[in-house]
Structure 1
Amino acid sequence: MNVQPIHVPEEPLSQWMLNEAWRLPDAQSLTKALVERLLSLGVPLYRVRITLRLLHPQITGFSFTWVKGDDEITVYNPPHEMLHSETYRDSPYWAIFEEGAGAIRRRLSGPDAQLDYPLLSELADEGASDYVALPIEFMDGSIHAITLAADKGPGFSTEHLAMIYELLPAMGRVLEIYALRCTSQILLETYLGKRTGSQVLQGRIKRGDGEQIEAIIWFCDLRGSTQMADQMGLEAFIEKLNQFFEIMAQSVLEQDGEVLRYIGDAMLAIFPIGKHGCEAVPAKVAANALMAARCAISRMQSEPECKGMEFGIGLHFGTVMYGNIGSPSRLEFTAIGAAANEAARIQDLTKSLGVPLLASHQFVEKHGGQGEDGWRFNGSFPLRGVSGERRVYTPHQQQCDSNN
């Protein structure tokens, strides 16, 4: 058997990984650099894929793929549903992740070809000649993977494979750092919100850390939830509640708002103005918040599963404390202050006034219109726990023109 010539590196790949590659900003950059390094050493690559499994509410992780002829690394985020598919069960990943296979090696051409996975037939049709799938173990015991397919020719030599095997422990340590960083960001954004999670990652982690900011405050509430839970049972009610929150949160996030808290069957969100928002113009931020509310109303009224569910949305403008509150061992990064309380009380009025959406005088002023300019004055009302009365308004157009 002819052994392919191989360029002996000045330093082992593991040393390159620990001395240089760890400085790269992310796993996508690492994949590209690794491919370039292997090619420079004479490894006949056709395709390389690094797969990281992560804690994520919507996807199982990330796959970074290089294919010969492509300059860029493609990123794929497989959804959780993929884990129940035949495609996954009939792949080398099932053997590595679910069955604990130590490594998989398959010839894709010649008399020794073994195409026992559909993926291997696809690679063989594309001209690949050899395939290797290797597990990468992290310190917590979780298994990730790298797969390599060889270009046309005799495939990977013994020296090529030895070089790659020697790399795995060092690559695992570097990839684990990327994975931990990514997981931290994902969990913070999922449980705190994108802006709020960023604040925590930037070091605002002590009780009292925060600042006063101007913002549009959104407060929404699902009405009759206790009765709904009694009538339909807890599991069915939780499903309905999640549908309500999904529509409300999606509408807020689409307009660059930040969901801060779920409080029972209510939700608090803000649309920051200034450096914490993408818009410094209050009228534009207010317009975004109103569009979010209109779209939420449209979606609630058009979604078959949500028809008949009653709810209210209150919009207000004011200054809030945006930061950490709580005990030293249990903190919450949120927005508090009189303005947040008033938004909740304005929402309370939607039930007695029979409308799904109410806005304060302060919000209407920031939005820039009232009366014939888009708002109907509903009157002045006392708010529970707030001194004096507050003027509230209803937009003439309550819904989006379409359920975009």
Structure 2
Amino acid sequence: WREGEEVTVAEAPYEVLDSDQYYQNPIYAVFLEGKEIRRKICDPDCANDFLILDELREEGVTDYIAMPLDFTNGEIHCASYSTRQEGGFTDVEIAALERIRPALTRVAEIFALKRTAMNLLDAYLGHQAGMKVLTGQIKRGDGQEIHAVIWFCDLRNSTPLADSMSREAFLNLLNEYFECLAGAVLDHDGEVLRFIGDAALAIFPVTEEGWSVDEACEAAVAAAKDALGRMAKLNNQRESFGAPPLGFGIGLHLGDVMYGNIGTAERIEFTVIGAAANEAARIEGLCKPLDVNFLISEQVREHLKGKWQSLGKHALRGVGDEIEVFTVKS
């Protein structure tokens, strides 16, 4: 927070923890030693032993202090303060900062734990499912019926691919593939629910607070087109060093599904179940015989603008009526 400005939250990549910017920062020294660091920048004799001090001096800062926050698990975190006040912090102000430090530490630890929990749940369950778990919806069978665009994608010929390379190389390949496909879903605010081997299940839900049906369909299609572009780049890279291109399919369908958790009493997961989810997987399964990478159902097509190429009506395994499917018009 800066005077006269809104509170901002900044995040840094893990790479910053291996940089001079980090190692030559007072906060790193606090982490190491667990001691308070103060630099009275307005003092001509102030040590200039941290990179940030020159930046602060240019901003007119006269005093800087970094205080350790000792969490109950033994971790040391840090709170830092700076001022442009002439002469720097007064003794009374320093004493006030010291007095609030214990309370600030407890509050900071609560927020840090919540943030860590949310990050873990985001990574392993997805944001919406993670929020439901965090708010206590963790009993088996908890859920709700939602209207959503269901995304299903799959990597083709994965078995011979896996047999032709080391396990580590195949895992790296899968990560590159999912970075293109699932990464596009996340970048367009979709929710990745499951990775099933080399396949992924995701949703673009319709809600009163969020997307309309048209908007959910448009977001899902935008994500699919983004994924196609990413895969084209990845395959160009693979071809440049003699590797075969990766085949894949994306199927989009619109319908009602049950969104909730299922499993055993000891191990549950959030997912969507219902006919529409199964139909999305069947639609994706048509990509290979129809020689395309991307298909949408007629239910999705009804909510889209632009030109789409019909590839006819097809019977889906386990589905009574035939469904007309479309692909991007070339």
Name the CA shift for 1:306/1:253 in 2 (closer, same or farther; >3 Å).
farther
In the TM superposition, residue 114 of structure 1 has moved relative to its aligned partner by: 1.0
In the TM superposition, residue 268 of structure 1 has moved relative to its aligned partner by: 0.2
In the TM superposition, residue 313 of structure 1 has moved relative to its aligned partner by: 0.9
Of the three residues 132, 143, 149, the one matched with 1:199 is 132
Residues 268-279 of structure 1 aligned to structure 2 (within 5 Å): 268-275=201-208, 278-279=210-211
Q: Is the 8 A contact 1:320 1:340 kept in 2?
A: yes
The answer to whether residue 78 in structure 2 is matched with residue 141 in structure 1 is no
Q: Deviations for 1:79-109, whole angstroms, at most 9, x for unmatched residues?
A: 2111111111111122122x22412122323
Name the CA shift for 1:220/1:306 in 2 (closer, same or farther; >3 Å).
farther
In the TM superposition, residue 322 of structure 1 has moved relative to its aligned partner by: 0.6
Find the counterpart in structure 1 of residue 265 from structure 2: 328
2: distance between equivalents of 1:247 and 1:193? 17
Q: Is the 8 A contact 2:42 2:88 kept in 1?
A: no
The answer to whether residue 299 in structure 2 is matched with residue 395 in structure 1 is no
The answer to whether residue 220 in structure 2 is matched with residue 293 in structure 1 is no
Q: Is the 8 A contact 1:102 1:135 kept in 2?
A: yes
2: distance between equivalents of 1:257 and 1:306? 27
Q: Deviations for 1:41-100, whole angstroms, at most 9, x for unmatched residues?
A: xxxxxxxxxxxxxxxxxxxxxxxx32x5x3333332122111111111111122122x22
1: distance between equivalents of 2:19 and 2:310? 53
Residues 303-342 of structure 1 aligned to structure 2 (within 5 Å): 303=234, 304-305=236-237, 308-342=245-279
In the TM superposition, residue 300 of structure 1 has moved relative to its aligned partner by: 0.8
2: distance between equivalents of 1:387 and 1:248? 27
2: distance between equivalents of 1:293 and 1:127? 49
Q: Is the 8 A contact 1:350 1:356 kept in 2?
A: yes
Q: Is the 8 A contact 1:240 1:306 kept in 2?
A: no
TM-score between both structures, scaled by the size of structure 1: 0.73
Give the AA of the match of 2:266: S
SS in 2 for 1:309: coil
SS in 1 for 2:110: helix
In the TM superposition, residue 388 of structure 1 has moved relative to its aligned partner by: 4.4
Residues 200-219 of structure 1 aligned to structure 2 (within 5 Å): 200-219=133-152
2: distance between equivalents of 1:103 and 1:368? 61
2: distance between equivalents of 1:391 and 1:207? 33
Find the counterpart in structure 2 of residue 190 from structure 1: 123
In the TM superposition, residue 169 of structure 1 has moved relative to its aligned partner by: 1.2
Q: Deviations for 1:123-164, whole angstroms, at most 9, x for unmatched residues?
A: 234433332211101112222111223435433344433332
Find the counterpart in structure 1 of residue 242 from structure 2: none
1: distance between equivalents of 2:151 and 2:168? 27
Percent identity between the two aligned chains: 44
Of the three residues 260, 267, 271, the one matched with 2:200 is 267
Of stretches 125-134 and 152-161 in structure 1, the one that deviates more from structure 2 is: 152-161
2: distance between equivalents of 1:316 and 1:161? 61
Aligned alpha-carbon RMSD (Å): 2.5
Name the CA shift for 1:237/1:151 in 2 (closer, same or farther; >3 Å).
same
In the TM superposition, residue 363 of structure 1 has moved relative to its aligned partner by: 3.4
Q: Which structure: larger Rg? A: 1
2: distance between equivalents of 1:299 and 1:108? 49
Q: Deviations for 1:282-328, whole angstroms, at most 9, x for unmatched residues?
A: 34422332232222112211334466111011122222111111112
